[in-house]
Amino acid sequence: MKLKSGIAAVIVLSLAVAGLTACEKGTAERAGEKIDDSVEKVGEKIGDTVEQVGEKVEDAGDKMKKAAKDVKK
């Protein structure tokens, strides 16, 4: 679900950029910086989520290996 939220945030931010094209350079520049910061934060959250999922998958694999060894005994 977090991934979908991240994608939705990127879409909303992209639409905001499109809406700011009529602003003065200074205002648009500041808005662009805020959007860049927001997109960066979303990217970090997605990266964190992917890392957590990877750790869970790795843990599950380790448990499966241990269970298989126990069955062979």
What is the Cα–Cα distance from 34 to 28, expressed in whole angstroms? 10
Average pLDDT value over all residues in the chain: 81
Per residue in 42-67, pLDDT (tens digit) is 889 888 899 999 999 999 999 999 98
Instruction: Give CA separation, 11 vs 8, 23, 37, 48, 49, in Å.
Output: 5, 20, 15, 20, 19
Per residue in 30-39, pLDDT (tens digit) is 888 898 999 9
pTM over 0.75: no
What are the domain boundaries of the chain? 2-72
What is the Cα–Cα distance from 60 to 54, expressed in whole angstroms? 10
- Does 71 have pLDDT greater than 80? yes
- Does 1 have pLDDT greater than 70? no
